[in-house]
Amino acid sequence: MSLVSAPPVHRHSTVLAQRADPAASEGGKLYRAFATLCFALFFLLLPALARAEVNIQEVKSKKGVTAWLVEDHSIPLVAIRFVFDGGTAQDPAGKEGLVNLMSSLFDEGAANLDSDAFQQKLDDAGAEMSFEPARDGTYGSMRMLSNEKDEAFGLLKLAVNSPRFDQEPIDRIRSQLLSGILANERDPNSVAQKRWLRAIYGEHPYARPDEGTKESLATITPEDLRAFHRANFARGGLHVAVVGDIDAATLSAKLDEVFGDLPQKQTLAPVADVTPKLGQQLEVNYDLPQTSLQFAWPGVKRSDPDFFAAVLMNQILGGSTFTSRLFEEVREKRGLAYGVSSDLVDHEHSHALLVTTATRSDRAAETLSIVRQVVKDMAENGPTEEELAATKRYLTGAYAISNLDSSGSIAATLVELQVDDLGIDYVKRRAAIIDAVTLDQVKAAAKRLLSAEPAIMIVGPPLAQPAGGGKG
């Protein structure tokens, strides 16, 4: 979840209620019945899933490359996930979109293989390879058949160490990215999101568009891409996780094959910490039947001692899809929106708590007021003992479903645990950490994060009446 790279207003439901109270309709009754059944089945599964253990080994190669490994020889597949520190926040001013463009080119030719030859080799090996940019990291992943791992790891080595960045694929991918930029210029939510980031972050790199602009993309050259690759792809900023049909000794050799010849140290530009500029209301007026609402309150760092108290509070406020306070007040009681949620956003240099929803434009002022009132009540009174106990049970059990349900999700989870420096035994310790959080700590987190005046963005027609609800 990301305030700066994948705005929740685009991920959560922006479909608005077309009826005055959809929850009270026949469709709404069926919806609630189905949701209740799903949650009942889910909680029946939680004890078994919570007991599931993942045996994580630390593997260190001869050249000093470290990976976390989960062996699973039940199926002949191997998944690798890795990240190099430094993502789109490293885009030079005037060359925004560089990391995004680079990430699309690693399977477009490497070493002596041009684009067509490289992709044919991938197909022959039965492997899937992808690279994705994020604000604070450049991610890569590959899935392969274990009996083809030599060929697959060989191709990954070429992509990581010797990408070609040929002009033809650069121009082709750049053209595709430009098409997306032009389409976004006609999309009200995309336009609004750019304004929101500028309002929240000012001149900080987090305010820049990940995809770049028409002007910035046009300036990016093959040498720009090669220069960033040299600066970014180094062992010192690398985190790796591997899951599947491979043993530690074999993996150790493959780590050196793929990453062992990279430079030791990265050369990254410093990025300052930034506090989101709250206490402002941004109205982006469009003649739309639906109005999107986005709120930002202070967040909490992942390393903060109060982090899990904030996580539990957020889950009760709006993190749970069907049982949160925001869902109950906005959707169930009033039918103002189909979806409303809150999310803790934790980036390397900024943190926030976001609330997002969308509603019929003639009820936007009412929805805004209700959201602020729910947040105000949480800030002043916190959750109940019953809410906290239920949320602890849910978060303990749901972790296996959300994070450990496939080789790819396990690898992704292990990489993020490394990035956050949580320790190789975190999965085993997590339940005890959550259970130890007290009601007073959660109430203190609610007061600390939600007592500030939020930043608010309204995308749609001008509000039918002044926004109320008091300080949230």
Name which of 27-36, 96-105, 304-313, 413-422 the model is least confident about. 27-36
Q: Can you tell me the mean pLDDT for 162-175? A: 98
Burial class for 322, CB neighbours closer than 10 Å (0-12, 13-18, 19+) = middle
pLDDT of 322 reads: 86
Residue 134 CA to its chain's centroid (Å): 8
Q: Can you tell me the mean pLDDT for 374-402? A: 96
Instruction: Return the SS3 of 14.
Output: coil
Q: Can you tell me the mean pLDDT for 191-208? A: 97
- The residue that leads in pLDDT, 29 or 128, is 128
The reported pTM is: 0.86
List of residues 6+ apart from 142 with CB closer than 8 A:
79, 80, 127, 128, 129, 130, 152, 156
pLDDT of 465 reads: 56
Beta strand pairing call for 455-460 and 281-285: parallel
Residue 23: is its pLDDT beyond 80? no
What topology does CATH give the domain 8-48+275-460?
Cytochrome Bc1 Complex; Chain A, domain 1 (3.30.830)
CA distance 118 to 120: 5
The total number of residues shown for the chain amounts to: 472
Q: Give residue limits of the domains in the chain.
A: 8-48+275-460, 57-259
Q: Can you tell me the mean pLDDT for 194-198? A: 97
Buried b (16+ CB within 10 A) or exposed e, 272-305: eebebebeeebebeeeeebbbbbbbbbbbbbeee
Residue 470: is its pLDDT beyond 80? no
- In contact, 314 and 342? CB cutoff 8 Å: yes
Percentage of residues of the chain with pLDDT beyond 90? 84
Q: To the nearest 10°, the Cα dihedral for 209, 9, 389, 428? A: -40
Residue 224: is its pLDDT beyond 70? yes
Listing DSSP states for 343-381 in one string gives EEEE-SS-EEEEEEEEEEGGGHHHHHHHHHHHHHHHHHH
Instruction: Return the SS3 of 4.
Output: coil
Tokens encoding 2: 């990301």
- The residue that leads in pLDDT, 51 or 451, is 451
CATH H-level, domain 57-259: superfamily: Metalloenzyme, LuxS/M16 peptidase-like (3.30.830.10)
Confirm whether 8-48+275-460 and 57-259 share one CATH topology. Answer: yes
